[in-house]
Amino acid sequence: MLKSKTFVKKTRSGGIMKIVREHYLRDDIWCGSEFCTECKQDESVLQKDACIESNLCVFPHYLLPDTNVVLSQIDILEDPLIKNVIILQTVLQEVRHRSAPIYKRLKDILHDKEKHFYTFTNEHHRETYIEREPGESANDRNDRAIRVSTKWYSDHLKNARTEEGLRIVLLTNDRENKDKSEEAGLLTYRCEEYIKSLIANPELVDRLALTNDDKNDITSSKVLFPEHLPLSRIQSGIKSGTFLQGTFRASRDNYLEATVFVHGEGDESTEVLIQGLQNLNRAVHQDLVAVEMLPQNQWVGPSSVVLQDEGPKDDDVTGDDEEEKALKGAVVGAGPRKPTARVVGIIKRNWRPFCGMLFLSQIKEATRHLFTPADRRIPRIRIETRQASTLAGQRIMVAIDGWPKHSRYPNGHFVRSLGCAGDKETETEVLLLEHDVPHQDFSQAVLSFLPKMPWSITEEDMAVREDLRHLTVCSVDPPGCTDIDDALHCRDLPNGNQEVGVHIADVSHFIRPGNALDQEAASRGTTVYLTGRRIDMVPELLSSNLCSLRCNVERLAFSCIWEINEKAEIIKTRFAKSVINSKASLTYAEAQMRIDDTSMNDDITKSLRGLNRLAKILKRQRIEKGALTLSSPEVRFHIDSETHDPIDLQTKELKDTNSMVEEFMLLANISVAQKIYEEFSECALLRKHPAPPPSNYDILNKAAKSKNLVIHTDSAKALADSLDAARVDNFPYFNTLLRILATRCMMQAVYFCSGMDSDFHHYGLASPIYTHFTSPIRR
Amino acid sequence: MAGLELLSDQGYRLDGRKATELRKVQARMGVFAQADGSAYIEQGNTKALAVVYGPHEVRMSRSKTLHDRAVINCQYSMATFSTAERKRRPHGDRKSTEMSLHLKQTFEAAVLTNLYPRSQIDIYVKILQSDGGNYSACVNAATLAVIDAGIPMRDYVCACTAGFVDETPLADLCHAEESGGGTSLALALLPRGGHIALLQMDARLHQDHLETLMEAAMTACKGVSKVLDQVVRQHLQEVSALTGE
């Protein structure tokens, strides 16, 4: 028999569409019961002997739950005790519509043969299909359908019964439904009373979920989060002091916790803790938010629990509530209480496209899926896409559109796909995007400012520069380095002192201030070195060729030349723009070999030996002043030349030559700093490293105390000495570990202008003044 | 909100059919008195009307005349009210021209054109309501119309669509199933000999599944041919009863 279903739907653009669908009714849908002799089914799912021991229903019976019972009590249905249950197609479809995870669990139960759950396609059965009456709501119609099916089942099996009656028990929590079905003569119980009647299994009562059963709360747009206040309210609140403004930083380890850095006067910024989903109120990492402090009795300490947002949740917060309670439980007694607040409004969103992977929905034909970003501080994003199956194993980029207050996750859209996950190219791309490294090719505008090849030094350039092409200058760099920033030379002077020169590539000759090339380099900020790939700050023509101090070619440089005596004291310093001709581009290993090889005695080797000797003295002097040698283990990958896959891993060893180059670079930077401060005392660009406050050293002290060692942190020298002395027998790596920890305690070094501050001290290098002058190609 | 479930675990589709079942087919021949042949078919909610004029002299462009056989001229169009949203341009859009071409190819294979050299046979088909399987309904309607016009054909031409969901082939797709993004294949068959007049699919399908899909479509077409046959015989009976034979 053919019926037709007509309903009106609202389209995305706001129009109205009338949908007409055919609806066939069949007579060959069987009841699925073993008991039944009428139905010609192939295999019966519901058993004849369906007995669950209950003092309400002492006879064999089948259970028939309605939608709300399934949605709220899915745990009970999953229990192995509950068998022989009829799930109607109406109920199944409604569950699918309202909750994907519960739908999946229900389907798993249906597939489990041991549970004897049967799906009855009541919508297409001629006798159990009903049409909506005028004035009846959709929910009422579904409830009526359930009642009609129950009645049909009872009558159907009544005919088939022999001695003991096989009854159908309707489980519903809805009072109206219950009343109406009892009027119709059906056996109905509330889920609670039925479960409590199972005397043989009292533990099932524990699995009962508490529900709000009197109201038919089917609307999925529950308000989960408090409203954001309008901008005017926020601004007046900040002015009056009720609210504070700050940057929102999500916690990497705990998705229910975050800190807001409130901007105070000057450099100060106080940290305020935010805990709990409601208090977080839809703020995303790096947004500018307005917070309201909570009263002191509600302050909490930062939790020591690591929590991750697991699994796709529904639009309700019940799952998160449990975790929040666990969080609060763990917090009591963890760490000191910190000022706590809650987010009342967002001043400025700071959303960008995020990289990550798609987490497919449980329902096959679903178009909405959850996207998990690579950065753990960003929440999952719900996106709508039809190409979910193609995107499943790939890294994709998704941008957030908004976060409505009834939705557990923000909504977003797919931007583009980056490639298969695990593929080296894709992962590199993800890395660069996540850390905001500009890595596109240089634009035409930028490239237009490069000098035309072939380039050579012109007469005018020579006229204003010192000609140092005759000096035995050499450069020492890591193997495979093409951007050579610096070169050194050392030669004996007739008066017994030595002349040492550090020559830095003259990049400012090629990049004039303000042009596109300068701006692009400024925006990139630095050259990024990845294994097997290097993303240049300036185009390759400059970085690897014209600026780079390659050997046996004339190059423009900026030289810093000292006259140093044998005790490594500086007698004279002078600076000059120059032209050099490097005689050799050595690697650290090659330079070391030359120094050690007593048979080699050419100019380059003699120069290297001189530099090495002086460097050692300089280093000793620095250490006496309290310079820190902290350990940042650097590893080096060996890449197979054919497959470009890493085949070996080695930690970089520090040779004498590494430290030799380092010493002279430091010396050059210090000398330049002194000179520019002399000349431009109000506006010299310097670099300082403030001493860390004693509280920063807490973790270092804790670690050292665990091995009964003491680290003195009052001055840099004391720290350096106690780090040297801190050794444990049979645990040689301990010293390296302590040094790594010490690195974590340090403050960040900063650039500053000499006129704005009076303290120039560089703590880590134990130098009264410092700047960055060397390595201009990559900084 | 999830998409529609095209095939439930119990084996029922959206409208309650099983995977191999066809929609309800109702057809009538001789609906228009003025045309040489006409037919109206309803396949589920898809309603198509076909009208045949001919064979007659080639009207437009004399050059198209073929010396040994008849030219078949097809035109396919959809009524503006046939889809859920009103269509702006019912004629001349790419879909219509493509469909017309397909119909022409199909009928050139089936109609015995060499019996009518230098003439033209016009077949006009209009979709009054579109709910999936437009092409199949057109072909079926056109077959009946050609038979009504008395033009000899090799065999009935029956068409049906078939789709693929979850390793199961579905026969006779409705609009929701076609637009769900899955595969959909249209097949026009001459059932007695099993000759395929037209096979059309624009979706991605693994080649292993092609055999099964075609089998399903062919079985469905044979089902349709039975219905069409029934309709023709009934019509003949009515006509002969009216003319008093």
Residues A601-612: tens digit of each pLDDT = 888 888 888 888
DSSP B210-227: HHHHHHHHHHHHHHHHHH
**CA atoms lying within 13 Å on the CB side of residue A719:** 27
- N-to-C CA span, chain A: 79
pLDDT > 90: what percent of chain A? 8
pLDDT value, residue A210:
57
pLDDT value, residue B108:
92
Provide the pLDDT confidence category of residue B223 given band limits of 50, 70 and 90. very high
**Are B85 and A110 in contact (CB < 8 Å)?**
no
What value does the mean pLDDT of chain A take? 82
Provide the pLDDT confidence category of residue A11 given band limits of 50, 70 and 90. confident
Residues of B in contact with A110 (CB under 8 A): 9
In one-letter notation, the amino acid at residue B156 is Y
What value does the mean pLDDT of chain B take? 89
Count each helix (H run) and each strand (E run) in chain A, helices first: 22, 29
Q: CB-CB: which of A15, A21, A121 is closest to B176?
A: A21
Residues of B in contact with A2 (CB under 8 A): 24
Residue A22 parent element (H or E):
strand A16-24
pLDDT value, residue A188:
87
**Are A368 and B1 in contact (CB < 8 Å)?**
yes
**Are A17 and B84 in contact (CB < 8 Å)?**
yes
- Find residues 36-55 of chain B whose CB sits inside 8 Å of chain A: 44-45
ipTM: 0.86
Q: Is the pLDDT of residue A214 over 80?
A: no
**Are A23 and B15 in contact (CB < 8 Å)?**
yes
Count of beta carbons in the 10 Å neighbourhood of residue A597: 10
Q: Which of A192-206, A247-261, A673-687, B185-199 has the lowest mean pLDDT?
A: A192-206
Q: Which residues of A545-567 are buried (b: 16+ CB within 10 A; e: fewer)?
A: bbbbbbbeeebbbbbbbbbbeee
Q: Is the pLDDT of residue B159 over 70?
A: yes
Asked whether B39 and B31 are in contact (CB, 8 A), the reply is yes
Give whichever of A35-44, A525-534, A582-591 has the largest mean pLDDT: A582-591
Residues of B in contact with A22 (CB under 8 A): 15, 23-24, 44-45, 131, 174
Q: What average pLDDT score do residues B8-19 get?
A: 87
pLDDT value, residue A184:
84
Provide the pLDDT confidence category of residue A209 given band limits of 50, 70 and 90. low
Considering the entire predicted model, what is its pTM? 0.58
Q: CA-CA distance, B70 to B67, in Å (whole number)?
A: 8
**Are B45 and A19 in contact (CB < 8 Å)?**
no
pLDDT value, residue B90:
65
Residues of A in contact with B181 (CB under 8 A): 386
Q: What average pLDDT score do residues A335-345 get?
A: 80
Which strands make up the sheet holding B25-29, listed edge to edge? Answer: B25-29, B37-43, B46-57, B119-129, B71-78
Provide the pLDDT confidence category of residue B119 given band limits of 50, 70 and 90. very high
Provide the pLDDT confidence category of residue A333 given band limits of 50, 70 and 90. very low
Q: Say if B86 is an interface residue toward chain A (CB within 8 Å).
A: no
Q: What average pLDDT score do residues B151-170 get?
A: 91
Q: List the one residue out of A349, A318, A82 whose CA is nearest residue A204.
A: A82
**Are A97 and B23 in contact (CB < 8 Å)?**
no
pLDDT value, residue A314:
45
pLDDT value, residue A56:
74
Query: Token digits for A756?
Result: 């704005």
Q: Is the pLDDT of residue A76 over 70?
A: yes
pLDDT value, residue A39:
79
Q: Which residues pair with residue A292 across a beta bridge? A: A243, A342
Residues with Cβ within 8 Å of B160's Cβ and at least 6 positions away in sequence, in order, are B22, B133, B136, B171, B172, B186, B187, B189, B217, B220, B221, B223, B224
Interface residues of chain A, partner chain B, Cβ below 8 Å: 2, 4, 15, 17-26, 89, 93, 96-97, 100, 107, 110-111, 119, 121, 123-124, 361, 363-368, 386
pLDDT value, residue A161:
56
Interface size A-B, in CB pairs within 8 Å, comes to: 69
Alpha helices by DSSP H, listed for chain B, are 94-110, 134-149, 175-178, 207-242
Q: Which of A221-225, A350-354, A663-667 has the lowest mean pLDDT?
A: A221-225
Provide the pLDDT confidence category of residue A160 given band limits of 50, 70 and 90. low
Provide the pLDDT confidence category of residue A264 given band limits of 50, 70 and 90. low
The number of angstroms, rounded, from the C-alpha of A246 to the middle of its chain's C-alpha atoms is 21
CA dihedral sign of residues A698, A703, A704, A705: positive
The residue ranges of DSSP E strands in chain B, in sequence order, are: 25-29, 37-43, 46-57, 71-78, 119-129, 158-165, 168-171, 183-190, 195-201
Q: Is the pLDDT of residue A646 over 80?
A: no
**In this structure, what DSSP letter does residue A300 have?**
B
pLDDT value, residue A689:
87
Q: What average pLDDT score do residues B237-245 get?
A: 84
pLDDT value, residue A631:
59
Q: Is the pLDDT of residue A365 over 90?
A: no
pLDDT value, residue A750:
87
Q: Which of A72-76, B37-41, B214-218 has the lowest mean pLDDT?
A: A72-76
Q: Is the pLDDT of residue A649 over 80?
A: no
> pLDDT digits over A222-239, tens only?
667 888 888 888 888 888
Residues of B in contact with A1 (CB under 8 A): none
Q: CA-CA distance, B64 to A419, in Å (whole number)?
A: 54
Residues of B in contact with A123 (CB under 8 A): 16
Asked whether B172 and B23 are in contact (CB, 8 A), the reply is yes
pLDDT value, residue B157:
94
Asked whether A680 and A673 are in contact (CB, 8 A), the reply is no
State the smallest CA–CA distance between residue A119 and chain B in angstroms. 8
State the smallest CA–CA distance between residue B241 and chain A in angstroms. 30
Q: A339 vs A92, which has greater pLDDT?
A: A92
Q: Is the pLDDT of residue B136 over 90?
A: yes
Q: Which residues pair with residue A61 across a beta bridge? A: A167
**Are B45 and A22 in contact (CB < 8 Å)?**
yes
Q: A42 vs A750, which has greater pLDDT?
A: A750
Please tell me which residue of chain B has the smallest CA distance to A23: B15
